């Protein structure tokens, strides 16, 4: 039995290597119509060869987050007044858009405000960051910014002071040296499906937003949550409030956060963790791109047609939902962000990362690595944690 598991793991690693070597995005550009290339560039977060760059201002993402949340809530209101069958579709769209908008605020706007690259002045970045952290129940912006700067330090990454390590090793109770199968079990049972985990996660958010060092921040957080809840209860719409706003704000956003964080970083060899040099930074993260290998058969045969239909179905359902809910904004290019954390080119992250790849990533000993597919990326990261000795990483108390 153990031999078959090892063979499967080796086969999976070999398949991942082949996928990387094939350069899936170039294949998509060569084998699919030009009309779908802009969509594929956004979906996969990888540009087609020689694709024109797309200029965006930071405000593009602020507006995107606002529009997604407003559109999601609007569809949610429609859900409350239409018949059941079309209403179910409206509710699905509502929850998807609202969760996506919250993710854009969390991953893009709030995050880059901490780097001071959304607005022109430090004060404006801080003001907007504090407002976002209060309204959406995030960690107080000032604390987040300090911890996030530690996260970007090679000396702090994967230590007790690292927010990523605190979440994965502390909050999620994932431990080095455990078999990968056990790590997956903890992810699926204890993290994804456990009510207790999500209650702890939510209480942690409540404490961070409402019991911070800043009384004004605490008041804004409580008002932003209590006033809409009270108004909906008094008008007889408490259920609608819970479903179309509180559910995306809590459970759905937390699910998305778990998936995104688990794929962000991997655990290099102990010697590299101890060295904490630029090679450690290179190997501690990789690009994670939504997508799957194209079928090798042409669509003119029944087998090929079925394979292509399955590929498009996967891209327009699973991969699209991953992109819209989990890997929002520049999250697929998290490796670029760690190598160039202060760049203002993050607004066109798709092409900025590719330019860095094509130039050989000056200043770093290794070029970029990549993984295609969220689950594959999480699997690879858990595999590196499984082979990491306990002494190489901090131990969180239960």
pLDDT per residue over 176-193, tens digit each? 999 999 999 999 988 888
The predicted pLDDT at position 397 comes to: 72
Nearest alpha-carbon partner for 272 in 389, 395, 164: 389
Percent of the chain at pLDDT > 90 equals 86
119 SS3 class = coil
Q: How confident is the model at residue 232 (pLDDT cuts 50, 70, 90)?
A: very high
Q: Where do runs of H (alpha helix) occur along 211-332?
A: 215-234, 238-241, 247, 253-264, 270-275, 278-283, 302-314, 320-321
The answer to whether 246 and 237 are in contact (CB under 8 A) is no
Kindly give, in sequence order, each residue whose CB lies less than 8 Å from that of residue 346, ignoring residues fewer than 6 positions away: 112, 117, 330, 336, 337, 340, 352
Q: How confident is the model at residue 14 (pLDDT cuts 50, 70, 90)?
A: very low
- Residue 209 predicted with pLDDT over 50: yes
Dihedrals phi, psi of 299, to nearest 5 degrees: -80, 0
Alpha-carbon span 319 to 342, nearest angstrom? 29
The answer to whether 169 and 163 are in contact (CB under 8 A) is no
Alpha-carbon span 206 to 211, nearest angstrom? 7
Alpha-carbon span 205 to 212, nearest angstrom? 11
Express each pLDDT in 253-293 by its tens digit: 999 999 999 999 999 999 999 999 999 999 999 999 999 99
The predicted pLDDT at position 54 comes to: 84
Q: How confident is the model at residue 379 (pLDDT cuts 50, 70, 90)?
A: very high
Token reading at 102: 């919250």
The predicted pLDDT at position 6 comes to: 36
Nearest alpha-carbon partner for 357 in 77, 25, 38: 25
Kindly give, in sequence order, each residue whose CB lies less than 8 Å from that of residue 358, ignoring residues fewer than 6 positions away: none
Kindly give, in sequence order, each residue whose CB lies less than 8 Å from that of residue 393, ignoring residues fewer than 6 positions away: 158, 165, 169, 176, 267, 273
To the question of pTM greater than 0.85 for the whole model, the response is yes
359 SS3 class = coil
Alpha-carbon span 61 to 103, nearest angstrom? 11
């Amino acid at each position: 039995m153990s031999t078959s598991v090892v063979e499967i793991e080796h086969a999976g690693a070999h398949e991942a290597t082949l996928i990387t070597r094939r350069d899936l995005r170039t294949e998509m550009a060569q084998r699919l119509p030009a009309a779908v290339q802009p969509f594929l560039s956004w979906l996969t977060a990888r540009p087609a060869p020689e694709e024109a760059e797309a200029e965006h201002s930071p405000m593009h993402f602020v507006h995107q987050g606002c529009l997604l949340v407003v559109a999601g809530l609007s569809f949610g209101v429609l859900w409350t007044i239409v018949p059941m069958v079309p209403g179910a579709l409206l509710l699905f769209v509502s929850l998807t858009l609202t969760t996506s908008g919250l993710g854009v605020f969390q991953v893009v706007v709030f995050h880059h405000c901490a780097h001071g690259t959304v607005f022109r002045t430090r004060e404006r970045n801080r003001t907007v960051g504090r407002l976002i952290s209060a309204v959406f129940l995030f960690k107080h912006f000032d604390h987040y910014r300090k911890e996030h700067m530690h996260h970007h330090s090679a000396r702090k990454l994967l230590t007790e002071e690292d927010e990523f390590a605190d979440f994965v090793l502390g909050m999620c109770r994932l431990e080095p040296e455990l078999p990968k199968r056990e790590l997956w079990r903890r992810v699926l049972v204890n993290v994804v499906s456990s009510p207790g985990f999500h209650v702890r996660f939510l209480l942690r958010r409540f404490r961070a937003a409402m019991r911070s060092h800043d009384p004004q921040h605490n008041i804004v957080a409580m008002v932003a949550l209590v006033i809409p809840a009270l108004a909906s209860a008094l008008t007889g719409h408490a259920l609608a409030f819970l479903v179309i706003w509180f559910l995306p704000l809590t459970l759905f956003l937390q699910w998305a956060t778990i998936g995104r964080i688990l794929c962000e970083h991997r655990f290099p060899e102990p010697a590299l963790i101890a060295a904490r040099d630029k090679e450690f930074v290179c190997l501690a993260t990789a690009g994670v791109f939504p997508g799957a290998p194209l079928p090798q058969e042409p669509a003119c045969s029944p087998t090929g047609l079925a394979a292509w239909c399955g590929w498009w179905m996967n891209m327009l359902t699973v991969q699209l939902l991953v992109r819209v809910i989990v890997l929002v904004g520049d999250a697929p290019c998290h490796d670029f962000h760690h190598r160039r954390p202060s760049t203002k080119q993050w607004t066109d992250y798709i092409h900025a990362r590719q330019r860095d790849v094509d130039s050989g990533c000056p200043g770093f000993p290794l070029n970029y690595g990549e993984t295609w597919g969220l689950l594959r990326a999480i699997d690879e990261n858990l595999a590196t944690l499984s082979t990491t000795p306990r002494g190489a990483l901090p131990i969180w108390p239960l």
